[in-house]
Amino acid sequence: MSTLGIYVQVPFCQTKCTYCNFHTGVVSPDRFAPYVQAVQREISSARMLFDASSIGHEHLFDLPVDTVYVGGGTPSLLDAPLLGELLDTIRGNFQYDWREVTLEADPETIEPDKARQWVASGINRISFGSQSLVDDELKAAGRMHRAADIYKAVPILRDAGIHNISFDLIAGLPKQTHASWRHSLGETIALRPEHVSVYMMEIDEGSRLGLEVLNGGPRYSARELPSDDAMTEFYQLAQQELKAAGYEQYEISNWAKPGFASRHNLKYWRRERYLGFGAGAHSFSGTQRWANVHDAAAYVAAIRSGKAAMGSVESVTTEAALEEELFLGLRQIAGIDLSRVQREYGVDLQEKVGRLASRGMVEQHGDTLRLAPDRLQVSNEVLVELLR
């Protein structure tokens, strides 16, 4: 049966990490409640806002919501009752059969009372912004927490009744070495989260660190970044250690204990439908994609005046849908179903697949095409070949 995912964006943080290229801001806590009220209003008037923006929503509101993801930013900064009200608004406006309700939480924001209230409001999964278990790296990256906060937070979450914790790690932080990366991986595994995400450091002009690197400067420990080769080795070490510890890799950046793959994120990779609320949130109806404006103040102002806060709406052409299928399929270890692609898009990729397989880039098992395990980092190269 088809289901719907709901994403809520909370674009506020306590500080700006040096590597952060997200649209998030540091604002006074006074702005949290008005923002959440705007999101609640956007949710409860969604049908009307979609109609006014020519968004086709036939059957969308009939689908039961089975996953909710509250991300950011640092949504765990919000008072727990505010988060509870937000989830109540979703319950009041959609059919629901909640299986997975995730909150992104940073270690230093986790307290016993808060965690108990999260569980009481329906949150059953925490995406935990650990990033590294090494204080020098956390400090250099401008993170608010230290390793001690991580060790303290995990038992708090367990005691509160959270049985599904996902750790985020970043490969390629300034000051990271083989030994420190091995330490972060080992400590993560010892804390027994059900899920681990490993993200590769991105250097671009969207972050302070990225700009410093591009300008050749020394600030933010920009000259102490590991090399590209070292990052590749970090990734490969993560693959080995996580596999040995019983985690199954199911996507380029994601590993899970059996049964704990993220249902919500799988919706993105499988091109299932989801609605996003809040500044900068993205939505996909199956035939259209749209996104709200990033600026939180502009978002709140638009919603308060009864208008949609969409910055872009586009219909997904067949060509774009095929590109998405291939791009997202290559990210997943389950791969791409070639016969379905042929059936739905009238495209026979066999000849190109044969060429890529002969170069060791991809593997084909029956109708399934997937990247070779040691080529997971070259998905873009393969995508370009398949679309050529």
Specify the residue, 63 or 141, whose C-beta has the smaller distance to ligand SF4.
141
Taking the C-alpha atoms of residue 384 and residue 388, their distance in angstroms, rounded to an integer, is: 6
Give the Å distances, CA to CA, from 6 to 93, 124, 235, 284, 381: 12, 15, 30, 10, 32
265 touches 199 (CB < 8 A): no
Shortest CB 128 distance to ligand SF4, Å: 12
Tell me how far CA of residue 312 lies from CA of 135, 187, 289, 303, 358, in angstroms: 40, 42, 8, 16, 41
- The nearer residue to ligand SF4, 66 or 108, going by C-beta atoms, is 108
Given phi > 0 = left and psi -120 to 50 = alpha, else beta, which region is 248? beta
What residue is closest to ligand SF4 based on CB?
Answer: 20
- In angstroms, the CA 379 to CA 111 distance is 40
Pick 74 or 180: Cβ nearer ligand SF4? 74
Per DSSP, the three-state class of 99 is: strand
User: Segment contacting ligand SF4 (CB under 6 A): 1-9, 68-76, 115-123, 156-164?
Assistant: 68-76
In angstroms, the CA 316 to CA 265 distance is: 20
Pick the binder of ligand SF4 from 20, 86, 103, 386 (CB under 6 A): 20
Q: Find the shortest distance in angstroms from Cβ 220 to ligand SF4.
A: 13
Rounded to the nearest whole angstrom, what is the least distance from the CB of residue 73 to ligand SF4 in the complex? 5
Residues in region 113-142 near ligand SF4 by CB under 6 A: 129
74 near ligand SF4, rule: CB under 6 A:
yes
| DSSP letter (8 states) at residue 65 | E
In the bound state with ligand SF4, the residue whose beta carbon lies nearer, of 108 and 272, is 108
Residue 175 is a binding residue for ligand SF4 (CB under 6 A): no
C-alpha 301/C-alpha 309 separation (Å) is 9
Range in contact with ligand SF4 (rule: CB under 6 A) among 17-25, 89-97, 174-182, 377-385: 17-25
CB of 377 to ligand SF4, least distance (A): 22
Contact call for residue 207 and ligand SF4 (CB under 6 A): no
**Quick check: 22 binds ligand SF4 (CB under 6 A)?**
yes
Among 3, 9, 24, 285, binds ligand SF4 (CB under 6 A): 24
Q: Does 160 bind ligand SF4 (CB under 6 A)?
A: no
Q: Assess 16 for contact with ligand SF4 (CB under 6 A).
A: yes
What lies within 8 Å, CB to CB, of 156 at 6+ separation is 110, 111, 112, 115
Query: Which residues share a beta bridge with 68?
Result: 6, 101
Decide whether 207 or 379 has the Cβ nearer to ligand SF4: 207
Tracing tokens 């989830």 back to the chain, one arrives at: 87
Closest CB to ligand SF4 among residues 83, 353 = 83
Asked if 17 touches ligand SF4 (CB under 6 A), the answer is yes
Tally of CB atoms within 10 A around 362 = 25
Minimal distance, residue 198 CB to ligand SF4, in Å? 15
Amino acid occupying residue 225: L
The window from 40-48, 66-74, 255-263, 277-285 that contacts ligand SF4 (CB under 6 A) reads 66-74
**Whose Cβ is closer to ligand SF4: residue 72's or residue 226's?**
72
Segment interacting with ligand SF4, rule: CB under 6 A, options 16-24, 146-154, 257-265, 347-355 = 16-24
CA distance 288 to 150: 40
Tokens of 306: 């009864």
Q: Is the dihedral of CA 224, 253, 262, 5 positive or negative?
A: positive
d(CA 23, CA 9): 10
Name the one range near ligand SF4 by CB under 6 A: 70-78, 157-165, 330-338, 347-355.
70-78
Residues within the interface to ligand SF4 (CB under 6 A):
13, 16-17, 20, 22, 24, 72-74, 106, 129
